[in-house]
């Protein structure tokens, strides 16, 4: 990873831990997020990363973000998409606009940024793309319809990109976390009985941490994963086994 040029889209939750892992492995890292305060906090905590304010809810914003990051880095070897939102409510209580918002943020941005990053990597003849998916892309969790649909879509998007770009030296994979405690999920987990009920579903007997995800992501971004592509790696303590 030493000297690799990496862009991480999303500076919250798991995305906040990934830049440090890539930097420790020797990569030069740009982190993009719409929240400038979050970027400033992350840059203060992780020396050497470059923050990039970007709105990824439009194709133009996504292309601009990838292009600016590549310009800052002098190229692009690694792209990690860690953008995602969730809103837990039943299907019959999900407004049309909420559906559109979740799809635009989670899935549309994955397509637009991945397409832009892939174009640069295919031309260069090498590259690593990793998407943050979720066990919700496989399991039928109640009250997760828009989120689950977008994560299932990310899984298939990853597989099609991997199929199309494999001969160009570009790998595309996804990491699907199980129930993971982050700053973004803590409020939900702290509700009465939620943490205990979710932990009971995990054979490992605990919830995941962001550090549980960093190693697998860094591996998929590395030279050691050059023959791994189109794979959805479940990092879930065995949740998808039961």
Q: Please indicate whether residue 12 or residue 221 has the higher confidence score (pLDDT).
A: 221
139-148: per-residue pLDDT in tens? Answer: 999 999 999 9
Q: Is residue 53 part of a domain?
A: yes
Contact 99, 26 (CB under 8 A): no
Q: Is residue 240 part of a domain?
A: no
Give buried/exposed letters for 162-200 (b at 16+ CB in 10 A, else e).
beebeeeebbbbbbbbbbbbbebbeeebeeeeebeebee
Q: Is residue 63 part of a domain?
A: yes
Contact 178, 236 (CB under 8 A): yes
Q: Is residue 14 part of a domain?
A: yes
Q: What does pLDDT average to over the chain? A: 95
Q: Is residue 239 part of a domain?
A: no
Q: Which residues are within 8 A (CB) of 28 and not within 5 positions of it... i.e. 6 or more apart?
A: 3, 4, 5, 6, 48, 50, 73
**Does the annotation mark 131 as catalytic?**
no
162-204: per-residue pLDDT in tens? Answer: 999 999 999 999 999 998 888 767 777 888 888 999 999 999 9
Q: Is residue 242 part of a domain?
A: no
Segment 207-219 shows an average pLDDT of 95
According to the model, what pLDDT value does residue 190 have?
83
Residue 65 in this model has a pLDDT that exceeds 70: yes
* Count of structural domains, the chain: 1
Percent of the chain exceeding pLDDT 70 equals: 99
Supply φ then ψ for residue 22, to 5 degrees: -65, -40
Q: What is the pTM of this model?
A: 0.95
Q: Is residue 241 part of a domain?
A: no
Contact 5, 74 (CB under 8 A): yes
152-162: per-residue pLDDT in tens? Answer: 999 999 999 99
Q: How far is CA 39 from CA 54, 177, 220, 232, in A?
A: 10, 23, 24, 28
Q: Is residue 201 part of a domain?
A: yes
Residue 236 binned pLDDT confidence (cut-offs 50, 70, 90)? very high
User: Residue 30's domain spans which residues?
Assistant: 5-234
According to the model, what pLDDT value does residue 1 have?
79
Looking at residue 154, which CATH number applies to its domain? 3.40.50.720
22-54: per-residue pLDDT in tens? Answer: 999 999 999 999 999 999 999 999 988 999 999
Residue 62 binned pLDDT confidence (cut-offs 50, 70, 90)? very high
């Amino acid at each position: 990873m030493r000297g690799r040029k990496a862009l991480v889209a999303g500076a919250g939750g798991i995305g906040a831990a990934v830049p440090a892992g890539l930097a420790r492995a020797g990569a030069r890292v740009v982190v993009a997020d719409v929240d400038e305060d979050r970027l400033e906090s992350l840059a203060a905590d992780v020396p050497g990363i470059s923050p990039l304010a970007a709105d990824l809810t439009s194709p133009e914003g996504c292309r601009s973000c990838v292009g600016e990051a590549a310009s800052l880095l002098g190229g692009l070897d690694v792209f990690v998409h860690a953008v995602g939102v969730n809103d837990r409510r039943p299907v019959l209580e999900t407004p049309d606009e909420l559906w559109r918002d979740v799809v635009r943020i989670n899935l549309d941005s994955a397509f637009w940024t991945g397409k832009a990053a892939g174009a640069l990597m295919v031309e260069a003849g090498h590259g690593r793309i990793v998407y943050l998916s979720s066990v919700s892309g496989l399991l039928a969790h109640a009250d997760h319809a828009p989120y689950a649909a977008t994560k299932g879509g990310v899984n298939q998007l990853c597989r099609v990109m991997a199929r199309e770009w494999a001969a160009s030296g570009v790998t595309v994979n996804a990491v699907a976390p199980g129930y993971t405690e982050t700053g973004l999920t803590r409020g939900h987990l702290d509700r009465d009985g939620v943490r205990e009920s979710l932990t009971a579903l995990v054979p490992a007997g605990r919830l995941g941490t962001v550090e549980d995800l960093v190693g697998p992501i860094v591996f998929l971004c590395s030279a050691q994963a050059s023959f791994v592509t189109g794979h959805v790696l479940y990092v879930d303590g065995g949740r998808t086994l039961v």
